[in-house]
Amino acid sequence: MNIIRVKDYDEMSQKACEMIISVVRSTEKPVLGLATGSTPEGLYKCLIEQYQSNKVSFDNVTTFNLDEYVGLEGNDPNSYRYFMDSNFFDHINIQKNNTHVPNGIAKDLEEEVLQYEELIKENGAIDMQVLGIGLNGHIGFNEPGTAFSSRTHVVELDESTRNANARFFSSIDEVPTQAITAGIETIMESKKIVLLVSGEAKAETVARLLNGEITENFPASILHKHPDVTIIADEAALSQI
Ligand code: GLP
């Protein structure tokens, strides 16, 4: 794994922004894998600014998001579809029907997860997958214990994840108990992966990622086996290394 050490959140976002732009410029029909959460917000801001100053176009870009809560409509402010539209897609020239987020209100969730996999395959492969990391090492919503061989599937969210994400909801009771997530194997099939980490709260997680063993109990540890992973981490996130 290639580690880029940066000063702070802004520099992390800037570096990730440069990497994405370089993929978009050098690929004929770029396919990006995208993540939600507080971590990539600065990256999306930077990409919007670059688009506004005519440095990049998203006209021919296709995107696949990692995950979505089960039970939330796309216009629910806590859904990941809403997050992506309001933080990114509504501000750039991407064609909306080329943006994909799992459908958390699909009648048949098992059918939805299969279709999502199919759709990724139809588009070739993900050229660059952006990842954040949960405190317990989850990537997407693949919680500890998820098989490394998993494909897109429905998950029961860990209590720790629901607690960590409760800050976006008015109460913990409103945080969904299930989500759809791209599987570990699905993520590992991406050509390039860039993992963003910022802040002291993630320092222990980063230390375990870099120094710990590869185990399904810590999903992100699988990234050691991917041939092209870059971790962009700030000084606070690397403070326990
Ligand atoms: C969420 C998302 C993940 C994200 C992680 C970290 O639960 N499902 O995709 O990477 O938690 O979020 P944050 O960036 O807000 O710390």
Q: What is the pLDDT of residues 212-235, one digit of tens each?
A: 999 999 999 999 999 999 999 999
Query: Is 212 domain-assigned?
Result: yes
Question: Is the CB of residue 150 less than 8 Å from the CB of residue 142?
Answer: yes
Q: How many domains does the chain have?
A: 1
Active-site annotation holds for 165: no
Domain containing residue 108: CATH number: 3.40.50.1360
Tokens 């940066």 -> residue: 6
| pLDDT attached to residue 159 | 93
CA-proximal residue: ligand 1, atom 3 (nearest): 140
Residue of 87, 99, 72, 103 lying closest to 36 (CA atoms): 87
| pLDDT attached to residue 19 | 98
Query: Is 231 domain-assigned?
Result: no
* Alpha-carbon span 94 to 55, nearest angstrom: 14
* Alpha-carbon span 184 to 20, nearest angstrom: 21
Helices (H), ranges, 37-79:
41-52
SS3 180: strand
Query: Is 32 domain-assigned?
Result: yes
Count of Cβ atoms closer than 10 Å to residue 118 Cβ: 11
Q: Where are the beta strands (DSSP E) in 86-189?
A: 99-100, 128-131, 153-156, 178-181
Going by pLDDT thresholds of 50, 70 and 90, the confidence category of residue 35 is very high
Query: Is 235 domain-assigned?
Result: no
The identity of residue 82, as a single letter, is: Y
Active-site annotation holds for 65: no
Query: Is 239 domain-assigned?
Result: no
Query: Is 233 domain-assigned?
Result: no
Active-site annotation holds for 143: yes
Query: Is 121 domain-assigned?
Result: yes
Query: Is 159 domain-assigned?
Result: yes
Range of the domain at 217: 2-224
Residues 38-54: pLDDT tens digits?
Answer: 999 999 999 999 999 99
| pLDDT attached to residue 18 | 98
Distances (CA, A) of 85 to 11, 67, 205: 24, 14, 29
**36 Cα–ligand 1 center, Å:** 6
CA-proximal residue: ligand 1, atom 12 (nearest): 37
Distances (CA, A) of 197 to 5, 10, 49: 10, 11, 22
Residues 127-182: pLDDT tens digits?
Answer: 999 999 999 999 999 999 999 999 999 999 989 899 999 999 999 999 999 999 99
- The pTM of the full predicted model, rounded to 2 decimals, is 0.97
Going by pLDDT thresholds of 50, 70 and 90, the confidence category of residue 5 is very high
